[in-house]
Every structure is written in C-alpha cells, then in structure tokens.
C-alpha cells in the first residue's frame, strides 16, 4: 500500500512538472497498443487564435500569452539589444536608423494582425531557444499569409534557419521583388 501511494505521488508530481514545462497534456506511450495520458496543462486551438498584439515586426503575442516568432523573416530591431549592435556592425548602418526602420516594420505588422484571429502552421521545430512558438501565420479573415505579406510589402529580410525552410523559396522570390520595386523599407 505504501508503494502504491509513493508511486501515485511521483506520478502526479511528474505530471505537474511536465505541465509546467510543456503547458500541454502529457502522453506517455509504452507500446503500440497501450497509451497513458496525464491530463494536465492546456491545449490551444492554434487554427483559430487571437493576436493580442504585435511585439515587433516579426514577433506576435497571442491571447493565451504565448509569443510567436514568424518563421523565415527578420525585421529590423526597434529596441536596444545585442542584435541591434550586431546588425549595425554587419550593415554599416547606425543604430538609430535601424531602430527607425524597425518601428516602420512594427507598424506594418501591427496594422496587419493586431486584434485579429489567425491560424498557425508549424514546420519541423515548434519552439526556438527563447521558448517562442515558431510559425507561419495566416489571417482567418481573408487568408493572408502574414509572413509572406510582410516580405512582399518590403518590411522584412530573409532569415532561413534549417530545418524550418518550408517556404524559403517563396520568401526569397518575394524579397527580390520587394527590393526591385522599392517597397516598404527599400524605398
């Protein structure tokens, strides 16, 4: 009896730990014929979820509090960060100019998605090292492919990080067209 109680305490504790880490129900598969699910955590319907706000030009905050990093694109930095200084050294632009461009990209993304319902599509990796969701985002009303639209309108550069490369060719084409036609930040 004592072993059963200890086993249950350990099982419940592990379920709680997985819930905290994964924030999703935990399923443990022992064999092909047997499944055990620990019903802790939350599941979200990523096919229909509200964008609470745009954090910057390539990051969104959802109604459930999660942040989404748009796969395949990169917008200029708005805020002081190590990346801002790296981008300044890499491009030769001063940080103030980069931040102004970042603000323009943010404003575009904000108008496009803030307060709207979206659908998320995932690629190979679902999270980045900062625990943000990595996704391709589509507006529920009108079906606009958000990642592609930001590139198409000239507010983002390309950031292809394998293995998440499903739309890399499309983004590359849209990027070239935006630059050639001097759209968005390329004016």
Active site residues: 69, 77, 132
Q: Give the β-pairing of 117-121 and 49-56.
A: antiparallel
Instruction: List all residues 6 or more positions away from 100 whose beta carbon is below 8 Å from its beta carbon.
Output: none
> What are the residues whose beta carbons fall under 8 Å from the beta carbon of 20, sequence distance 6 or more?
none
Please enumerate, as own/partner, the contacts of 86-93 that have beta carbons within 8 Å and a separation of 24 or more. none
Measured between alpha carbons, how far is 52 from 33 in angstroms, rounded to an integer?
41
Alpha helices in 73-159 (DSSP H): 82-91, 95-113, 146-152
Query: Tokens for 71?
Result: 């796969």
Alpha helices in the chain (DSSP H): 2-22, 82-91, 95-113, 146-152, 168-180
């Amino acid at each position: 009896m004592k072993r059963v109680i200890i086993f249950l305490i350990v099982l419940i504790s592990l379920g709680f730990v997985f819930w905290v880490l994964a924030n999703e129900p935990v399923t443990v598969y022992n064999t092909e014929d047997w499944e055990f699910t620990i019903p802790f955590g939350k599941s979200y319907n990523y096919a229909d979820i509200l964008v609470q706000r745009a954090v910057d030009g390539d990051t969104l905050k959802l109604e459930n509090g999660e942040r989404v990093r748009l796969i395949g694109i990169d917008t200029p930095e708005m805020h002081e960060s190590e990346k801002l200084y790296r981008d300044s050294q890499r491009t030769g632009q001063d940080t103030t100019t980069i931040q102004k461009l970042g603000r323009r990209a943010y404003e575009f993304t904000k108008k496009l998605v803030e307060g709207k319902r979206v659908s998320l599509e995932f690629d190979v990796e679902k999270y980045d090292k900062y625990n943000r969701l990595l996704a391709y985002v589509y507006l529920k009303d009108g079906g606009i492919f958000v990642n592609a639209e930001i590139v198409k309108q000239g507010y983002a550069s390309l950031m292809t990080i394998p293995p998440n490369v499903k739309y890399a060719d499309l983004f590359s084409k849209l990027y070239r067209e935006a630059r050639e036609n001097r759209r968005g930040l390329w004016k």
